[in-house]
Chains A and B, each alone.
Chain A
Amino acid sequence: MQRQVALIKQSLFDQGYLDEQFMELEELQDDANPNFVEEVATLYFKDSARLINNIDQALERGSFDFNRLDSYMHQFKGSSTSIGASKVKTECTMFREYCRAGNAEGCLRTFKQLKKEHATLRKKLEQYFQASKR
């Protein structure tokens, strides 16, 4: 199992889903806080789901308040960065660029991609944590 865990983790890094920040988090985990990383990840996905929802609604409204969208995305990027969600972070950055350029279509496109990456990461991390527990 350990090996499998290591493999999963390695692939997450290799494929760019996670970056060094995730490792930082792992280092914070110790005997006193054995599930720290999982707790953080859980919290992240919960909170980011809320943010994604907000953005979705804002985009659906069609008004494209870029400032507000940018602000939402800033938050999202902050937390994604903090847990080392590398691909998600990249999409966030792109989304914000589109916001700044006032490119509504770009925003929509990027956001779709972002959600995809987010969902993928979630699944993979779940796998990872599952494997770690065994």
Chain B
Amino acid sequence: MLNPGQGRGPDSGVVGGSSNSDPFPAGLRVLVVDDDPTCLMILERMLRTCLYRVTKCNRAEIALSLLRKNKNGFDIVISDVHMPDMDGFKLLEHVGLEMDLPVIMMSADDSKSVVLKGVTHGAVDYLIKPVRIEALKNIWQHVVRKKRYNEWNVSEHSGSVEESGGGGGERQQQRDDGDNNSSSANNEGSLRGSRKRKEEEVDEQGDDREDTSSLKKPRVVWSVELHQQFVAAVNQLGVDKAVPKKILEMMNVPGLTRENVASHLQKYRIYLRRLGGVSQHQGNMNHSFMTGQDPSFGPLSSLNGFDLQALAAAGQLPAQSLAQLQAAGLGRPPSLTKPGMVVSPLVDQRSIFSFENPKIRHGQMMNNGGNKQINLLHGVPTGMEPRQFAGGGGHMRVQQQQQQIANVRVGGQNVQSSGMMMPVGGGTAMLPSSLGQQQQVMLSSNVPRRSDLTEISSRVLPATTHSVFNNFPSELPRNSFPLASAPGISVSYQEEVNSSDAKAATVTSNAAFGNQSYNIYNDYPQQNNNRLNDWDLQNIGMVFNSHQDTTAAAAFSSSEAYSSSSTQRKRREVELPVVAGNVHNHQQQQQQQQQQIPSRSLSHMNQIYMNGGGSVRVKSERVAETVTCPPATTVFQEQYNEEDLMSALLKQEGVPLVDNEFDFDGYSIDNIPV
């Protein structure tokens, strides 16, 4: 667009129209991060022209510390994708999780996959360089939208956030996507459009009309402690029955409002749903897969029942859990609101699995003979409620989970991912403590996006399994997991996934990956739940590690906000370097398609998982741990409370990974639908 050559003065071209007496969006506090000084200077100038208050930063680490120091100091963050010290997506995840600020990604790279990554990681918008000032003029809409979304969900669905909140959230998210697209693509029109939308929103939602002044509401930072209190309260009340008012009372935190709690709860539920959705998804997939592929798999429900019973008999699985698992395994699909949606992504995944399975079975898998493991696995994901672990509770809310899963699924892949993503992208600092890093890791990789999570399916899966494992009581025998094969398998899957991921969208890879993990279980029944968990963890961890940017796992690990316990945190920190190393290895391997030490490093990761037992949550932790020290089991054991199963499994681990047995490089997961 060529303007007549005059400079843009303060009055020209700015979104002055939207506010009359209200100066908004002038004064919007923008943090812009880009390692390119030229771009940074240009952006700063443009943003100043829009009358925003600009802080520029050329290092992501500095940006993060700025954000952390000034919790409410910024309204929106604009970040470049490619930065030397930290990947832009990782920063995106951090910001979303820790500060719950809208983040706009930008890059000279306009390839679809990167843009998609931005979306799935939770960016509210993606700008292609060269950035034009028109695109920047509208960024305030993201701040408003986010506020509205939070407010709307909080106020309207304080009690039952699941359906409506989730649905509303998704709708809103979709709308956000639409807005985003239009703002990026159509500068002139979008400004008007966004204004109109803003007005419409105002009209539609008569409740808490958001004044621009409301945007300046102090943001509650859900620190780790706070989140733990929250989760504890929710667990006590029961996820289904937890209402913000009661949670608030139980938490008894001065200064915390019901609205804060409600919005956090909303995100938390969505997060759980995603987790549940994944497991559900996997369960379904496995089921179909098994019947189609391998008679030994058997129906999910039967498997679940079998495993559960076996577990219960062994005294390892609490009756309650058993019941829940069974319920989960048996009946849940019907409860899904839109089973159809769930199925579709499965199809592709299934194909992947079938592809994979033959490999897995190849002899690597654990020798133990039980179908139990597999079954258990199936049952577990569906039944387990990741949140449970957080509270350290043993009770599983299968129904809840399923419901959540269903809800998550309903949205299709998006829903699922949103579940996972929620915590991350939505800025929900809600990662259940139990979920730990694993989920965090997942989140980081997934970068939960408040609005749209297509990628999630694969990612979510791992999470769910992960959480499922957590549910298992610690009493489960931790020994004799045919880990040797399992880890190998996991590893191979990961590798494969990774490579395919490299080729295709991460979503598909993840999906494939997730599926793989389930398959593995099916193929090689684990002796006990622990084992399954182990695998699951492994897979999950691996998935995450492989998929995410190297730093992602580390980043998540490092974010203390989500660690449920200090030990975990510690581990996380320790693991970070390890994880990063592993991830790095893994990724490199993928890229080069060389399995130099893939299995080894992977196995390390796997082993870590196994040994790590301690906190399931922290996948990255686990991985890191394994890599660094197999004897990490001891460390993990203490963390047992929530991830009993995992701990047990991990302890048991120690089996050397199978190397090079599962080389899935040849597999292409490209056909996985996103």
Contacts and interface: CB of A to CB of B under 8 A. Distances in A.
A33 B45 contact: yes
Contacts of B42: 25, 28, 40, 82-83
A74 B82 contact: yes
B38 A28 contact: no
Given A28-B49, A71-B82, A74-B82, A82 B5 contact: no
A78 B132 contact: no
A30 interface: yes
Interface in A26-76: 26-31, 33, 36, 39-40, 43-44, 47-48, 67, 71, 74-75
B41 A39 contact: yes
Interface of A is mostly: helix
A78 B36 contact: yes
Contacts of B130: 21, 24, 81-82, 84
B44 to A, nearest CB: 10
A23 interface: yes
Given A20-B1, A75-B82, A28 B36 contact: no
A84 B129 CA distance: 10
Contacts of B39: 78-79, 82
B181 interface: no
Interface stretch (B6-14, B154-162, B211-219): B6-14
A28 B7 contact: yes
B7 A43 contact: no
Contacts of A79: 36-39
A77 interface: yes
Chain A to chain B: the 5 pairs with minimum beta-carbon distance, closest first: A30-B7, A78-B108, A79-B38, A44-B38, A21-B130
Interface of B: 1-3, 5-9, 35-39, 41-42, 45-46, 49, 80, 82, 107-109, 129-133, 591
B133 A28 contact: yes
A112 B354 CA distance: 50
A33 B6 CA distance: 12
Given A74-B109, A81-B108, A82-B131, A30 B41 contact: no
Q: How large is the interface on A (under 10, 10 to 19, 20 to 34, 35 or more residues)?
A: 20 to 34
A83 B37 CA distance: 12
B567 to A, nearest CB: 38
B84 to A, nearest CB: 9
Contact of B38 (A23, A24, A71, A83): A83
Contacts of A47: 36-38
B6 A27 contact: yes
B65 to A, nearest CB: 23
B134 to A, nearest CB: 9
A91 B79 CA distance: 25
Interface of B is mostly: loop
Residue among B45, B130, B133 having the largest count of chain A Cβ atoms under 10 Å:
B130
Nearest to A44: B38
Given A30-B6, A30-B9, A47-B36, 14 more contacts: A24-B132, A27-B3, A28-B49, A30-B8, A33-B7, A47-B37, A67-B591, A77-B108, A78-B80, A78-B82, A78-B107, A79-B36, A79-B39, A82-B130
A26 B216 CA distance: 34
Contacts of B1: 20, 24
B8 A27 contact: yes
A78 B82 CA distance: 10
A110 B2 CA distance: 31
17 contacts: A20-B2, A24-B132, A26-B5, A27-B8, A28-B42, A28-B46, A30-B9, A33-B7, A36-B45, A39-B41, A40-B42, A47-B38, A74-B108, A77-B108, A79-B38, A82-B38, A83-B42
Residue among A48, A71, A83 having the largest count of chain B Cβ atoms under 10 Å:
A83
A115 B491 CA distance: 45
Residue among B8, B35, B38, B80 having the largest count of chain A Cβ atoms under 10 Å:
B38
B129 A81 contact: yes
A20 B130 CA distance: 10
A72 to B, nearest CB: 10
Residue among A27, A30, A81, A83 having the largest count of chain B Cβ atoms under 10 Å:
A27
Nearest to A48: B38
B107 to A, nearest CB: 7
B88 to A, nearest CB: 12
Contacts of B591: 67
A124 B591 CA distance: 41
B126 to A, nearest CB: 14
Contacts of A23: 2-3
A28 B8 contact: yes
B625 to A, nearest CB: 29
A40 B5 contact: no
Contacts of A25: 42
Interface in A10-25: 20-21, 23-25
B545 to A, nearest CB: 19
B12 to A, nearest CB: 9
A43 B41 contact: yes
A128 to B, nearest CB: 15
Contacts of A74: 82, 108-109
Contacts of A82: 36, 38-39, 42, 129-131
Contact of A31 (B7, B46, B131): B7
Contacts of A75: 35-36, 82
B617 to A, nearest CB: 33
Contact of B133 (A24, A39, A44): A24
Contacts of A77: 108
B262 to A, nearest CB: 41
Contacts of A71: 82
A74 B87 CA distance: 14
Contacts of B108: 74, 77-78, 81
Contacts of B8: 27-28, 30
Contacts of B6: 27, 30
Contact of B129 (A26, A27, A29, A78): A78
Nearest to B134: A24
Residue among B39, B109, B132 having the largest count of chain A Cβ atoms under 10 Å:
B39
A60 B37 CA distance: 26
